Each structure stands twice: as structure tokens, then as C-alpha cells.
A = this chain, B = another copy of it.
Amino acid sequence: MIVILKHSTTEEKRNQLISWLKRQGVDVHVSVGEYQTVLGMVGNTDMIDKELVASLDIVDSVKVVTDPFKCCNRKFHPDDSVISVGDVKIGGGNFCMIAGPCSVESEEQIVSVAKSVKAAGAGLLRGGAFKPRTSPYDFQGLKATGLELLKIARQETGLPIVTEVMGTADLHLFEDVDLIQIGARNMQNYDLLREVGKMGKPVLLKRGLANTIKELLMSAEYIMAGGSEDVILCERGIRTFDDYTRNTLDLAVVPVLHELTHLPVIVDPSHATGLARLVRPMALAAAVCGSDGLIIEVHNDPMHALCDGAQSLLPEDYAKLAEEVRKVREVAVR
């Protein structure tokens, strides 16, 4: 942590601040320049309120030089994490295709889609049982029943299942889910992050619509501090000012996250774009820029899907896309 003082700072005020900083348990190195004086902290600055220091009259600005994330920081864990979900591995060179409908609607539907995506090479089955909807009047998912139907589809196909949890009150229902998803709107629902972490199961953490990379890593840190080491990060689009697509898929986060953290990073082109015809180009783009997997919505009858039909692929289109993803990765991934 570095504090830049204003030019006008008197020696007395500077010394008061230095004394205060030392009382917080750090050493302070002083370097006097022509227009400002720079104070460098050495030691543990975690307990110092940076914003408070920055707000002082005599302070020009405060620069933080250590990362606030520890467990997920590649500096302290240089090798890629490889996360096991059932028999499937993700990360460290293991690419994973996740697919399934937005919502679980019926046993017939989920088993049928599961078989299709398995045949196309998917490694995990997705399907929403608890659905976060902007409107209280929209379909909210089959809930516990949906979870049971997912387990039937798992039994029929052998595919591990991933599905979203929306609140701590439902967590007991997720004991037998292979990969628990935290949705974008709950990325900073800290109670949920902490409690999910305590379960010790693999977690799929989606980036919020306006969250920074650092905030995403801090939310992973909540889960890991809770007890789980197996967190998969997911880029699914951020909110910007254009409205031709639902969100703006920020693919540069894939290589950036790989620099900052050892955790795997996957991409969701379905929610990012909201349009089935944009899923293919964005999926290929995500595959070649280094993502560790893709989560894609597939439905056997998009025209009758209970939610998000607009962004679902038909099983036959998904199969073609999965094949193309394999081919471009062969060429692009070193």
C-alpha cells in the first residue's frame, strides 16, 4: 500500500498520519519528491481502511499493491487446478462441454435432451430447477421436482448434473447435485457463497452483470474460505449500453483470469447473447481463446420452451457445433 500526499502537506500533519499508520501495525518508508511525498507501507495492510486514508485532506491518492485474493491467486498456487465433477475433469487442459435446457420441464424432456447432448459429446448435463426470473409472475422452475428429474436423467445417461441454487434454505436439496451453480445475480450474495463453500462440493460461479474481475475472484474467495477448493469461474456477458444483444460477452477475461488465478474458466454464450443464432460464433470464439469449457443451452423444442427458448439450440445444431469446437481447439490450443 502506497500513500501519495499532497504538495501542501505540513510536516506536522505528515507525521501524525505516519504515527497513525504505524499504530495499525505497519512500517512506513517515506520518499520526498518535488510535488508530492510518497509513503510506502511494509507489512500486513489488510486492516487499514484504504478509502478512509484516501479521503483525508492531506492525501492525494492511495495505491494498493497487493491482491486481496489469496486462495484463488495464481501467485500462491502456480499450477492450474483440475476440478473433478463425477468422472469428468475440468481445467489444466481438460475441456468440458456442458449442455442442457434452460429449465427442466418434464422427465421426457430432460432425459431426451440429456441423451442428445451426451451423444454430441457433452460431459455434463445442465438444467434449471430453481429459476431466477426478473418478474415474480414468470415461471419459477419445477424446484425440488426438477432436481429429481435431473437425477433421473443422470441415471439414464451417466452425465453428472449442474444446476443453480438460489438460496441457503434450499441447500439441503443440493447434497446429491454434482456441480452447484451460483447465478450471476447471486454472485455477491455472500451468505449463499459462504454456505455453499461449507458443503465442500464443486461450485460453478457465474460473473455478475456488472462485476469486475477482482470482484469475481473475491466471490470465489468467499467459497474457498468456506471450505471448497473446487470453484469453476464462468463468463456469461456483462451489461453495456447496446441493446442488439442481451449482454456483451467479454472474452478477454478468459486469458486475463488464467493469468490471475489457477481456477478453470468456462464461457456461457447462450445467456451472453440471448439469441440462438449467435451461440455458434461466440462458442467458437470462446473455444479458441483458451476457455476450459462451454455451457450451452439445448432444447428439443425451443418454440415451446417455458423460458429462454430464444437462446436454445436444437440438439442437431448442438451436435454440429460440438464437432466444430473440437476441431478449432485442435488447431488453436497449444
9 A-B residue pairs with CB within 8 Å: A20-B303, A52-B302, A55-B277, A68-B134, A70-B137, A133-B190, A212-B241, A254-B281, A284-B285
CB distance from A200 to the nearest CB of B (A): 16
What's the Cα separation between A7 and B77 when bound, in Å?
Answer: 13
Find chain B residues with CB under 8 A from A31 CB.
Answer: 29, 40, 42
Which single residue of chain B is at the shortest CB-CB distance from A309?
A: B52
CB contacts (< 8 Å) of A244 on chain B: these are 212-213, 252-253, 256, 260
Q: Kindly report which residue of chain B lies nearest to residue A188, judged by CB atoms.
A: B185
With A38-B2, A310-B54 as known contacts, state yes or no: A251 contacts B249, CB within 8 Å.
yes
Instruction: Say yes or no: is A116 at the interface (Cβ < 8 Å to chain B).
Output: no
A 44-77 contacts with B by CB, 8 A = 46, 49, 51-55, 60-61, 63, 65-66, 68, 70, 75
From A80-88, A89-97, A217-225, the one touching the partner chain is A217-225
Give A9-29 as 1s and 0s: 1 = Cβ < 8 Å from B's Cβ atoms. Answer: 000000000001000000001
Contact A241–B136 (Cβ < 8 Å): no
Q: Which residue of B is nearest A247, CB measured? A: B252
Contact A61 B51 (CB under 8 A): no
Q: Which residues of B lie under 8 Å from residue A55 when comparing CB positions?
A: 274-277, 309-311
Interface centre among A167, A286, A290 (most CB of B within 10 A): A167
Partner of A252, one of B70, B222, B273: B273
Residues in B whose Cβ lies below 8 Å from that of A60: 65
Stoichiometry, copies per complex = 4
Using Cβ atoms and an 8 Å threshold, which residues of chain B touch A242?
A: 212-213, 250, 253
Report the interface size for chain A: residues with CB under 8 A from the other chain: 107
Contact B166 A167 (CB under 8 A): no
Contact of A132 among B46, B190, B278 (CB under 8 A): B190
Whether A52 pairs with B305 at a CB distance below 8 angstroms is yes
What is the bound-complex CA distance between A246 and B241, given in angstroms?
11
Contact string, A228-258, partner B, CB cutoff 8 A, digits 1/0? 0000000000111111111011111111100
A51→B238 contact, CB < 8 A: no
Nearest CB of B to A50, in Å:
8
**Contact of A52 with B303 in the complex, beta carbons under 8 Å:** yes
Among candidates B65, B132, B190, residue contacting A166 with C-beta atoms closer than 8 Å? B190
Query: Is residue A194 contacting chain B, with contact meaning CB distance below 8 A?
Result: yes
